Structure 1
Amino acid sequence: MGLLAGATMTTGGLLSACASNGEGAASQSADGLGVVSSSGANQAVQADPATPPQPVGGKVLVAYYSAQGHTRAVAERIAAATGGDIFEITPENPYSDADLDWRDDNSRVTREHDDQSLRDIVLSQVTPDAFEEYETVFVGYPVWWQMAAWPVNRFVRDNDFVRKTVIPFCTSTSSSMGSTRQTLEQLAGSGEWLDGQRFGENPQDGMVEDWVESLNI
């Protein structure tokens, strides 16, 4: 079984369902199981395009968890397209490459998959600064064993999305988004959740931007 739901295993990747970048731990590695970068973690950082567009539907936040960088790359493109801010969801105890090795029955991610009680991951920062000011929140993640990578769970569960539009997105080598959106929406218990979008490890030029434009936010 792969960490990512229905995702195909990628060399050296642990997670890869909806996020072949380590976002899926099991048979995929979209956002792959890899070292989580700490850059930009714990704070909302203004995207830095030359001339950032102004969001039509109010302030936009792009929050994401990325294990191997694939989800991060998509998040940055969404932020650039919307003129939004970025917030990296960062585990207080980051995953190492060994932690993300889904082929190892004793690795951290495998033990967490097998024991649901281990999936409540403590984050360095749960709520972005001035979170109440954002009207639209993108939530990005890789897919692990057909589930959204669990570091995202606490972010979704412990924040108030009332009067916010929430748009999920994920990365994977082959798996679909599956029921990850519905599961996260139920966990959040608030907000207007849209269907969202799944991307491969390296979306073609314009693919992310065209999707964002179709949202009319």
Structure 2
Amino acid sequence: MNILVAYFSASGITKEVAENIAEVSGAKLFEIVPKVPYSKADLDWTNDKSRSTIECKDKKCRPEIANTIDISEFDAIIVGFPVWWYNAPNIIFSFLESYDFSGKIIVPFCTSGGSGLDPAPRYMQKCCPKAIFKTGKKFNFAENKASIKRWLESLGLDK
């Protein structure tokens, strides 16, 4: 099975987990890069006027992505993101709406210091209703590879 780990990381935590998932699964890694990078001020969730807060409050907002990838060769796409305002950042929806995931397996994962993965998978499924969604997982910083391997095995995505 060809697997892609596609992720967006604002602070580097999601990137580290994505790299570990790719290493454990033998997957290809793809970073979802915003066309306009986020500054530290943009990421200040305590500021009602910060870019991340404004984007999260506007469910129709779709930040542009700077890069693309051909997903045709992949059977499964593991999609990772930090939790923003109890959901996936809108750039994840930009990514999902940019490709045809019909018949492909999508597995979400998130990183968060508090909030869990829900309700992100429900919103993600609306973006690609012809994809096959599998149970995602919330990871903490420095998640060990043995835990990642067990999760992948439970999904039938281990190498």
TM-score normalized by the length of structure 1: 0.68
Q: CA deviation at 1:189?
A: 2.1
Paired residues for 1:168-179 under 5 Å: 168-179=108-119
Structure label with greater radius of gyration: 1
Write the distance in 1 (CA, Å) between the matches of 2:59 and 2:28: 32
Give me the whole-angstrom Cα distance separating, in 1, the residues matched to 2:76 and 2:28. 11
Report matched runs for 1:16-165 at 5 Å: 58-117=1-60, 119-125=61-67, 127-129=68-70, 131-165=71-105
Answer 1 or 2: which has greater helix percent. Answer: 2
Distance in structure 2 (CA, Å) of the matches to 1:83 and 1:179: 28
| Runs of at least 5 residues in structure 1 that lack an aligned partner in the other structure | 1-57
AA of the residue aligned to 2:64: V
Deviations 1:129-169 (A, max 9, x none): 3x101011101111111111111111111211112111111
Once residues 181 and 94 of structure 1 are traced to their aligned partners in structure 2, the CA distance between those partners, rounded to angstroms, is: 25
Cα distance, 1:153–1:206 mapped onto 2, change above 3 Å: same
Instruction: Tell me the distance in 1 between the aligned counterparts of 2:20 and 2:40.
Output: 25
Deviations 1:54-96 (A, max 9, x none): xxxx211000001111111111111111111011001100101
- Taking structure 2 as the reference length, the TM-score comes to 0.91
Q: Using the TM superposition, give the Cα deviation of residue 205 of structure 1 relative to its aligned residue in structure 2, in angstroms.
A: 4.7
Unaligned runs of 5+ in 2: none
Instruction: State the 1:112 CA deviation.
Output: 2.1
- Residues in 2 aligned to 1:116 and 1:162: alpha-carbon distance in whole angstroms: 23
**Which of residues 127, 141, 150 in structure 2 aligns to 1:201?**
141
1:172–1:199 Cα contact (<8 Å) kept: yes
